[in-house]
C-alpha cells in the first residue's frame, strides 16, 4: 500500500542547512503552485546544488548583484532567473541568511493539475515530459521572474509552497555531475551535486558542459 504524501508545509528550518544536505532531501517533496485557474502540484525527482562563493558554477560566485540578490537569503525563498533569452529556471534558497546557496529544481512529476500544465507545455508528448528539465518545470508551473523572492515558507498562502510529501530512501537517491556546468564531470566528478530518484521517468538526461567557441 502506497502511503499518502504528507501535505504539511516544510518549515524554514528545513532550508536553513548546508545546500548539500538540503538538495537530496528535497527529492520526493511536493511543490504546489497556486494559479488563478487552480493548483498544480509537482513531486520533485531531480535537483542540483549550487554553493555560492565556494562554487564557480553558482550565480553568486562573484558576489551579490541585482540578479542574484534573492540567493543571499533568507532561506526558503524562491530564486527565479531568466536564461538564454527565453527560459526561466526556479531555485530554492537554503543555508544561513547571507550564504547565497540554492537548489535548482531540475525535474518533477506533475501529480495534480496536469490539465493546467499541459496547456502550458503543448510540445510535451507524454505527461512524464511536462516538467522534465528546469525550463520545462518552470513553464509547466507558470513560474517567471514575477515570483522571484516569493517566500515558500510564509505562514499565509503563497503562490509557491513546498510540502513534506514522501521523502525518498537514501538507497534510491543517485548523484553525479551537474548538467552543462564547466568543471563538473570528467575525471573524479569535481562537483557531483546533481541528485535524482533512480529509474524515475521524469528525470532529465545528463549533458556535459560544451565550451562555447569564440568567433574568429
Q: What is the mean pLDDT of residues 87-115?
A: 96
pLDDT digits (tens, 9 = 90+) for 6-59: 999 999 999 999 999 999 999 999 999 999 999 999 999 999 999 988 898 899
Q: How far apart are CA 120 and CA 163, in angstroms?
A: 23
Residue 118: enclosing H or E segment and its boundaries? helix 114-120
pLDDT at position 119 is 97
For 30-72, list the strands marked E by DSSP: 30-35, 38-50
Its pTM stands at: 0.92
Q: How far apart are CA 179 and CA 56, in angstroms?
A: 14
Residue 23: enclosing H or E segment and its boundaries? helix 19-25
- Is the pLDDT at 159 greater than 50, yes or no? yes
Beta-strand pair 173-176/87-94: unpaired
pLDDT at position 2 is 56
Mean pLDDT computed over every residue of the chain: 92
∠ CA 53-54-55 to the nearest 5 degrees? 95
pLDDT at position 208 is 83
**Which CATH superfamily is 6-171 part of?**
Methylpurine-DNA glycosylase (MPG) (3.10.300.10)
* Residue carrying C-alpha cell 488563478: 36
- Is the pLDDT at 207 greater than 90, yes or no? no
pLDDT at position 109 is 98
Phi/psi at 20 (nearest 5 deg)? -75, -10
- Is the pLDDT at 188 greater than 60, yes or no? no
- Is the pLDDT at 111 greater than 70, yes or no? yes
Contact (CB, 8 A) for 15 and 75? yes
Amino acid at each position: 500500500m502506497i502511503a499518502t504524501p504528507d501535505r504539511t508545509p516544510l518549515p524554514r528550518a528545513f532550508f536553513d542547512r548546508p545546500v548539500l544536505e538540503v538538495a537530496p532531501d528535497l527529492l520526493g517533496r511536493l511543490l504546489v503552485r497556486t494559479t488563478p485557474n487552480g493548483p498544480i502540484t509537482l513531486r520533485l525527482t531531480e535537483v542540483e546544488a549550487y554553493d555560492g562563493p565556494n562554487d564557480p558554477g553558482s550565480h553568486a560566485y562573484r558576489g551579490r548583484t541585482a540578479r542574484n540578490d534573492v540567493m543571499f537569503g533568507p532561506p526558503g525563498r524562491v530564486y527565479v532567473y531568466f536564461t538564454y533569452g527565453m527560459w526561466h529556471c526556479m531555485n530554492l534558497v537554503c543555508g544561513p541568511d547571507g550564504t547565497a546557496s540554492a537548489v535548482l529544481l531540475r525535474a518533477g512529476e506533475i501529480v495534480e493539475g496536469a490539465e493546467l500544465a499541459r496547456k502550458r507545455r503543448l510540445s510535451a508528448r507524454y505527461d512524464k515530459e511536462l516538467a522534465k528539465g528546469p525550463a520545462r518545470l518552470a513553464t509547466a508551473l507558470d513560474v517567471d521572474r514575477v515570483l522571484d523572492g516569493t517566500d515558500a515558507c510564509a505562514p499565509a498562502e503563497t503562490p509557491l509552497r513546498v510540502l513534506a510529501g514522501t521523502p525518498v530512501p537514501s538507497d534510491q537517491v543517485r548523484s553525479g555531475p551537474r548538467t552543462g556546468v564547466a568543471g563538473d564531470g570528467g575525471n573524479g566528478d569535481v562537483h557531483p551535486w546533481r541528485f535524482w530518484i533512480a529509474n524515475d521517468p521524469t528525470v532529465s538526461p545528463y549533458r556535459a558542459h560544451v565550451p562555447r567557441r569564440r568567433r574568429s
